Structures are given as structure tokens and as C-alpha cells.
Amino acid sequence: MLSDELNRMTPDPRPPAAGAARAHEARKTDATFLYARLHNFTAISRHLSGVELTTFVNEVRRILSESVIKLGGEIAQRRPDSILAVFSNKPDARKPDHAQRGLHAAILLVYEAVQLAGRVAAQAAGRPMPTLTLAAGVNLGYAEISGRGSRNNGMVHAVGEAVELARLLEVTASDLRWSVAASGRTLRAAAGRAEAGRIGSVGPPDNSFLDIVEITGLVPRRGSRTSPEMYKLLREAIARNERAFARPHDMTMGGDATHPGTQAATHFLIEGYRILRQIGAGGMATIFLAQTQDGGPHQVLKIMRLDGLPADDGLQRFIQEYALLAQLHHPNVARIFRQDFSAGHAYIAMEYFPGGDLRARIGDGMDRSAVIRYLKQIAAGLQAIHVAGIVHRDLKPDNLMLRQDGTLALADFGVAKQVSMLMMDTDHGDVVGTPSYLSPEQAQGMLVDARSDLYSLGVLVYEMLTGQKPYRAASTRAMLELHINGPIPQLGPDHETLQPILERLMAKDREQRYASAQALLDDLEQRGI
């Protein structure tokens, strides 16, 4: 049973009776929904004798209901090992506190579950027994709630997205090995009543975002008569419950056969990041703007689904992008912070560029001084990756990102290649890259080296100066033919001093190009450019 301390922590708010006048009246209201489930309930039951099983089942039923009722919650669904509860306020309530009561109940559920787990373990007396754990999801939102009448012991019926998200959060808590997962909105509404730990983001299948927070303890109310020791015991119970969780089941976010209602086909689940918004999408990945738990600068999350991947090297390319960038630390190369797998997805956390990409700056042509500045920065970035044995192979304005201070960085190494890496060794004859910026050797499917990137840089220089691409054609095949055999474009009189540099960058024979990006930088310095 709950201790006297716990009883003082769960004041009776006089929960509304399910009177005849409102027994079947449906109401759409703002409420907090708690879904909690005991894990290993069935496995433990199989190990118990008849008397032991009866006691165990009755204890579970008490635990799942008692704290909810004491805190003014209404039971919407009750199974042998789980409960769905609704916490709402009376219409005349001066200050809504259902979020506080919902989180409070979830914490007490964990505490009671840990106490029961200890009793079960002691009763086992050496018999092998799975560990009883509890995961809970708490979410605040609107849902339709209707009374089922006194014949059903005052239980209510609750339906709506907010209810399903509470179920999703329970599954999320289990996968992350959190005791209680709450939506960010719920925590904010609780006004400091609950202690928070780690954060994350869940993306349901509808492409929305839900911030999630790990609940780690209860905060005393002002003037509380409960001893500080009790709050410490609650925190310890939450931590102990989390340590007892089994290894997460491959982050699949699935339910189980006995809980078909808890199936949660989550789009993605990322721990440690708060998703702000989607900012892009490509063939392999979706791009999100996110913030880390420590509240540092915004980062970009590049998230790739793992299910239903075609039988190509898409995942290998995705992983290689991290492997290539992680080893580089240069001001003109995009920074990458983390690569991991979560909930059927792979993701890369990268530097965010609020200035956008170079494409937006080109327009009808750029000032010569800006072109020279960007040329030098691109060359410096290329030199850094080439020294590391990496060929970018897709250099274009869209992959050149700008920071707030005006510096430029190479990004998007999705088709980059490192000579020493065999995991992504593109077959001879494959054409990789963007047609308008391909080198002649790329256009012919030949093996490439660092000088291929220098050709693409030449295309960029022409485009930055004139606002137009050097070659235009009606088809990809015709475009490739121009890269292979077309004349090197000529700059106007205003830029004639840069023509010799363009000639070397865009030479059809790579042997006639600069030997390296550093050689280009040296030449610019010698020319006083």
C-alpha cells in the first residue's frame, strides 16, 4: 500500500461523479491523458502458482487504479497490465491543473511498480523471473470524452489524436528506456511540478512533430508537508525502473499481440533533439531543423528511412557521408556532429547554415570581389578534402553553404568518394553528379580524381561572374557532349584577367588543369588576385 507520505502527496480533489445527467454526454475538452503499461506482466504470470497469480493480478489492478483515482483521474480503459486515464478540470476550475495531476499519477505509478517488482523478486526465491517494469506516456490535448454510465463503474470513453499520442509516448518511453515520456506541451502546462531529464522528438506518420521529455521526478509544492526524503525515493524509483528495462527491441516502435491498440507506426524517433521544422527533402533523406538538449546553436538533421530501401548503395552512401565529413575540421567544410540509428531510421546531425546556399546569391551575376572571395574559400575547402583523399564529385551552388559571418563551406557529400574506401566504390561507367557541373571524365563515366572537382569549380566561377551556366542544352546527353567536346566559355572584357584561370580550371584534358586546389590558390596569389 502507499505510505502515509504518499497519501499526503495525493490529495483528494473530489473527482466528478459520473451522474445520470452527464453519463452519456460527449464533451470535447482539453485534458491530460495517461497511458501506462507494465512490461513482462504475462511472462511473470506464467511463473506464478494459482494463489501467487491471484495476489499478483489484484496488486497490479490496485496499482494501476489507485493513484489515478486519488488524483482525480477517470479511467477510460483498463486491461490486466495497462490503464488509460483522463485528467480534466471542472468547468468552474480557476486554474487548470490536469497536467500536474497526470504527471504526478505517472510518477506514483512508477514508484508503486518498482515496489511490486521488489516483492515479486523476493517471492521468486531463486526462481528465474523476468523483471517487472512500467512505462508511461502522458500527453495534453483535445479529445472527445463521454461517460459510460454508472453501470460501468463510472468509466469514460476517450477518443482522439491526443489519446493516441499518449499511447505512442508509452511505446516511446519503453524504446528509449525512460520510465515516463511526456509531450513538451504537457511539461510546460505542469508549471514546474515535474522534473525533466532528456529530450527527444517523435514524428508520427502524419508528418507533424511532437517534442518529448523524460520525466525524472516530482517537484514539491510550495508549503508541502511531504518530507524531502519522499521526493528522493520517487526519483530513485524512476531511475531504478529505467535500469531494469530490457534492451530496446531494435527501436521498431511496435506494440505486441496482446496490445493491438498500442501499435505506433512512428515516422521517426530521435533522442536528444527537438525538431523545429522540416526544411527540405531529397531522394534519400528528409532534412529538419533541430535544437539540441543543451540549447546550443541549431543543427540540421538529415534523416533517412531504413525500411523499404531499394537494393542499391543508398544506405552506404548515407553512412559514408558521415564517415567522410567526421574526419575533417576545416572552416570551409561543413561540420558534422553525430551519426546514429533510431526507430528504423539513420540520421546525421550537421551544421546549420542560416545564410542558405550560394545559389540564392548568384542571381544575374556577382560582384567580382565576392566571386574571388568565394573562389578562394571553395578552393581552400577542396584542398582540405582532397588531402584527405576525398573527391566531392557534385560541386554546385546548392552544395555551397553560407554562414552568418559570410564564410562559405562545402556540404552534401552524398556522392563523394574516398579512394581508400571500398564500401562505396562506384563502378566504372557510372555517371554521378549534376549534369551542368560535370567534368568531361565524369560525363564519360571514367574514374575521377581531385581535378574533376576543379573543373566543376571552373563552371561555378563562370556562373558566379555571369549569372549563367557555361553550357546549355536541350537534353542531358547533349549537355554531357558539351562538357566533353564543347569550347571553353569566354568571359567578357570586365573579367578578362580571370580568363586564364578559367581556361586551366575547365581544360578538357585534366592533365592541363591545376594539379591541386592549392596550386590554384598559389596562382591567384602570384597574380595578385
pLDDT tier at 95, thresholds 50, 70, 90: confident
Residues 99-117, mean pLDDT to the nearest whole number: 97
* pLDDT score recorded for residue 308: 55
* pLDDT score recorded for residue 504: 98
Q: Are strands 194-203 and 74-79 parallel, antiparallel or unpaired?
A: unpaired
pLDDT tens figures, 206-227 = 667 889 999 999 999 888 888 9
Asked whether residue 205 carries a pLDDT value surpassing 80, the answer given is no
pLDDT tens figures, 271-294 = 889 888 888 776 677 888 999 988
Q: Which of 168-172, 179-183, 252-256, 509-513 has the lowest mean pLDDT?
A: 252-256
What is the rounded CA–CA span in Å between residue 40 and residue 81?
9
Spell out the alpha helix ranges (H) of 23-49: 41-46
Residues 53-65, mean pLDDT to the nearest whole number: 95
pLDDT tens figures, 121-148 = 888 777 788 899 999 999 999 888 887 5
pLDDT tens figures, 438-483 = 999 999 989 899 999 999 999 999 999 999 999 999 999 999 999 9
* pLDDT score recorded for residue 397: 94
pLDDT tier at 379, thresholds 50, 70, 90: very high
* pLDDT score recorded for residue 267: 60
- Listed by start position, the domains of the chain span 4-193+215-251, 359-526
Domain 359-526 has CATH 1.10.510.10: yes
Instruction: Check: CB of residue 173 under 8 Å from CB of residue 179.
Output: yes
What is the rounded CA–CA span in Å between residue 218 and residue 135?
16
Continuous segment of H or E residues that includes residue 119 = helix 98-124
* pLDDT score recorded for residue 16: 43
Upper half-sphere CA count for residue 309 (Cβ side, 13 Å): 17
* pLDDT score recorded for residue 222: 85
Q: Are strands 180-183 and 133-147 parallel, antiparallel or unpaired?
A: parallel
371 or 304, higher pLDDT: 371
Paired residues of 33 in beta bridges:
86, 139
332 or 305, higher pLDDT: 332
Asked whether residue 6 carries a pLDDT value surpassing 80, the answer given is no
Residues 177-200, mean pLDDT to the nearest whole number: 95
Q: What is the percent of the chain where pLDDT is above 90?
A: 56
* pLDDT score recorded for residue 26: 59
* pLDDT score recorded for residue 283: 64
* pLDDT score recorded for residue 146: 85
Asked whether residue 327 carries a pLDDT value surpassing 80, the answer given is no
Average pLDDT of every residue of the chain:
83
Residues that are catalytic: 394
Instruction: Check: CB of residue 344 under 8 Å from CB of residue 253.
Output: yes
Asked whether residue 429 carries a pLDDT value surpassing 60, the answer given is no
Chosen CATH of 4-193+215-251 out of 3.90.1150.10, 3.30.590.20, 3.40.50.1820, 3.30.70.1230: 3.30.70.1230
* pLDDT score recorded for residue 1: 40
Upper half-sphere CA count for residue 462 (Cβ side, 13 Å): 22
pLDDT tens figures, 493-503 = 999 999 999 99
Q: Which of 32-36, 265-269, 421-425, 518-522 has the lowest mean pLDDT?
A: 421-425
Q: Which of 70-74, 341-345, 396-400 has the lowest mean pLDDT?
A: 341-345
Asked whether residue 256 carries a pLDDT value surpassing 50, the answer given is no
* pLDDT score recorded for residue 269: 78
Sequence letter at residue 242: E
| Cα dihedral sign, 161-284-172-89 | negative
Cβ contacts of 273 within 8 Å, gap of 6 or more: 199, 200, 201, 290, 291, 292, 293, 299, 301, 349
**Residues present in the chain in total:** 529
pLDDT tens figures, 37-49 = 999 999 999 888 8
Residues 191-201, mean pLDDT to the nearest whole number: 93
* pLDDT score recorded for residue 34: 98
**Residue listed under C-alpha cell 460527449:** 26
Continuous segment of H or E residues that includes residue 517 = helix 517-526
Residues 195-211, mean pLDDT to the nearest whole number: 83
